[in-house]
Structure 1
Amino acid sequence: MKYAKLNDNWYIDGLIDFEYKSYQLLGYLQKIHSLFAQKKIYPQLADLINHYRNLLEIKEQKESVRSKFPQSVADINFQRMEVIYEDLYKDDDILKTIDEIIEFALPRFRQSIESGRELFEYAASIIDLEPIGIVPLYRKEGYFMLRDKSTDDILIFYYRIKLIQTDSDQFRALETRYLGRDKLSITNTPENIKMRLIKHFKELPNPASYMISIKHSLPLSATWLPVAKRILLKAVS
Structure 2
Amino acid sequence: MPALSLRLFDAASDPEAARYRILAGLSETRSAFRSNRISPWLGDLVGLHRGLSALVAGADSVEGRAGAVVDVDWEAGRLVRSGPEAPLAVGLARWALPHVEAAIGEGRALYEFAAERAALRAVGLVPAYRDEGFLLVRDADAMRVLRYQVSPLSGPDGRYRALRTSRLDARLDPLASPAAWKAALAEAAPDLAAPAAFRLEAEVDLPVEATLVPVAKRKLLGLVGTWGEA
| TM-score when normalising by structure 2 | 0.80
Q: Structure 1 98/14 Cα, relative in aligned 2: closer, same or farther at 3 Å?
A: closer
In structure 2, relative to structure 1, the CA distance for the partners of 1:27 and 1:184 (3 Å cut) is: closer
Which residue of the other structure, out of 50, 61, 78, is the alignment partner of 1:64? 61
Corresponding residue number in structure 2 for 1:30: 27
In the alignment of these two chains, the number of paired residues is: 211
Q: Distance in 1 between matches of 2:144 and 2:105?
A: 30
1:66–1:213 CA distance, 2 compared to 1 (3 A): same
Q: Is the 8 A contact 1:4 1:32 kept in 2?
A: no
Q: Are residue 126 (structure 1) and residue 117 (structure 2) matched? A: yes
Report 1:1-237 matches (<5 A): 4-15=2-13, 17-69=14-66, 91-93=83-85, 95=86, 97-147=88-138, 153-163=142-152, 171-179=160-168, 180-185=170-175, 188-237=176-225
For the residue of structure 2 that corresponds to 1:10, the secondary structure is helix
Cα shift readout 1:103-146 (whole Å, capped 9, x = no counterpart): 21010010011111111111111111111222122210012221
- What is the distance in 1 between the residues matched to 2:135 and 2:20? 43
Please report how far the alpha carbon of residue 171 of structure 1 lies from its aligned counterpart in structure 2 after TM superposition. Answer: 3.9
Separation of aligned partners in 2, 1:196 and 1:173: 26
> Which deviations, in whole Å up to 9, do the C-alpha atoms of 1:34-88 show, x marking residues without a partner?
1111111111111111111111111111121122238xxxxxxxxxxxxxxxxxx
**TM-score scaled by length of structure 1:** 0.78
Aligned twin of 1:79: none
Distance in 2, Cα, partners of 1:217 & 1:143: 22
Range 225-234 or range 25-34, more displaced: 225-234
Q: Where does structure 2 lack aligned partners over 5 or more consecutive residues?
A: 68-80, 226-230
Q: Which amino acid aligns with 1:183?
A: D
1:203 match: secondary structure: coil
Q: Mark the CA change 1:9 to 1:167 in structure 2 (over 3 Å): closer, same or farther.
A: farther
- Return the offset for 1:170: 5.4
Q: Percent of aligned pairs with the same residue?
A: 30
- Alpha-carbon distance between aligned partners in 2 of 1:181 and 1:64, rounded to the nearest angstrom: 55
Q: Give the distance between the partners of 2:135 and 2:50, measured in 1 at CA.
A: 33
Secondary structure of the 2:8 match is coil
Could you tell me how far apart the structure 2 residues matched to 1:92 and 1:123 are?
Answer: 48
Deviation at residue 176 of structure 1 after TM alignment: 1.9
CA distance in 2, matches of 1:52, 1:60: 12
2:137–2:208 Cα contact (<8 Å) kept: no
Gap runs ≥5 in structure 1 = 71-88
| Cα 1:200/1:38, change in 2 over 3 Å | closer
d(CA) in 2 for partners of 1:235, 1:165: 19
For the structure 1 residues 60 and 118, does the alpha-carbon distance in structure 2 shift closer, same or farther, using more than 3 Å as the test?
A: same
Shift of 1:19: 1.8
